[in-house]
Copies of this chain bind each other. A is one copy, B any other.
Amino acid sequence: MMVKITDVARNAGVSPSTVSYALSGKRPISEETRRRVEAAVRELGYRPHASARALAGSRSNVLALVIPLRTGIHVPVVTQFAVSVVTAARRYDHDVLLLTQEEGEDGLRRVADTALVDALIVMDVQLHDPRLPLLRSLDRPSVLIGFPREAAGLTCVDLDFRAAGELCVERLAGLGHRVVALVGSPPEVYVRGTAFAQRVVQGFTAAADRCGLASRVHPCEATPAAARRVAERLLREQPALTGVVVHNEAVLEPLIDAFEQLGLRVPGDLSITAICPDETAAALRVPVTSVALPSAELGERAVDLLLRKLTGAEVPEATLLTPHLTNRASTAPRDAP
């Protein structure tokens, strides 16, 4: 039933070790021998047994990917990230084992200690993440998506969310807007110390101050009703508001609806910039000027770094992707006052 390396060896008239070396390229093989081995492999349809290979070679060629399940994390972002991790991993001849955060630290320890995986990618890292000590102590390399407070000894990748927040504000300032607001993630996201959400706030506030803009920040639940309430509150508290930054995919559309129902046209009366996936921004009724959330690029970078670590190479501890803003229909210069 199963073709094994000894079958290939016999068919090619060489020893099993020669077959192994011919396939791995780990030692020089004569042209003639290589061809015979390759022919035998094809003829017999040989596929090396993954577990046997992993046991003997002490590398499973599998990466673990830990995905978050929590509320306030936008699902398409996670999914696109996962897909790009799988795609990138395959380019390096690796596969991806999917773990949910639900399993927690035990899950990480389990797949690492049983040598089921060679390395780990952990998404949605919190500022004070309980998994950090564990990840540092594992005998396998890992890459984190997100930046915890104490990142020493860990490899972290993320969009530069602070710069993203700044970029959104600077665009509004450049268009002449003087009073701006940030509609952020749901409150629990801040409460539990999700780094990226806080960094957006920091960037937003710093840039607003630097540009001399009046600014406020409002977390917002991921429901249309909450969006509506935030819109009303914004107009009440900042009557001169003409610029809004949104860092909350789920309420982008309802928020625009709410503003328009309250009598404000986008971008006529109100300009909006957002931090969200490009597809989301482009698919809205009013396409929104946005800083892209580059899930796919993040996934690739994470895999690249992880595989370099697996070869023993040194990699930078911090990788911050530069944010890019794309102009769309939701921004316009402020009317002369």
Contacts and interface: CB of A to CB of B under 8 A. Distances in A.
Contacts of A47: 110, 113-114
A111 interface: yes
A232 interface: no
7 contacts: A47-B113, A48-B114, A50-B116, A86-B98, A87-B102, A95-B99, A257-B285
A319 interface: no
Contacts of A79: 75, 78-79
Contacts of A284: 224
A178 to B, nearest CB: 31
A298 B97 CA distance: 20
Complex copy number for this chain: 2
Interface string A83-124: 100110010000111111011000000110111100000000
Contacts of A102: 87
Interface string A240-261: 0000000000000110010000
A116 B95 contact: yes
A75 B280 CA distance: 12
A223 interface: yes
Interface in A31-80: 45, 47-52, 54-55, 60, 62, 65, 67, 69, 75-76, 78-79
Nearest to A107: B90
Contact of A51 (B55, B82, B113): B55
A45 B138 CA distance: 14
State which size class the interface on A falls in. 35 or more
A139 interface: yes
A87, A90, A102, A116 interface centre (most CB from chain B within 10 Å): A116
B69 A60 contact: no
A45 to B, nearest CB: 8
Contacts of A115: 2, 49-51
A1 interface: yes
A25 to B, nearest CB: 18
B224 A98 contact: no
A124 to B, nearest CB: 14
Contacts of A87: 100, 102
A283 interface: yes
Contacts of A86: 98-100
Interface string A274-316: 0000000001110000000000000000000000000000000
A69 B102 CA distance: 25
A139 B1 contact: yes
Most buried by B among A48, A95, A97, A283: A95
Contacts of A45: 113
A69 B79 CA distance: 10
Contacts of A98: 65, 82, 86, 95-98
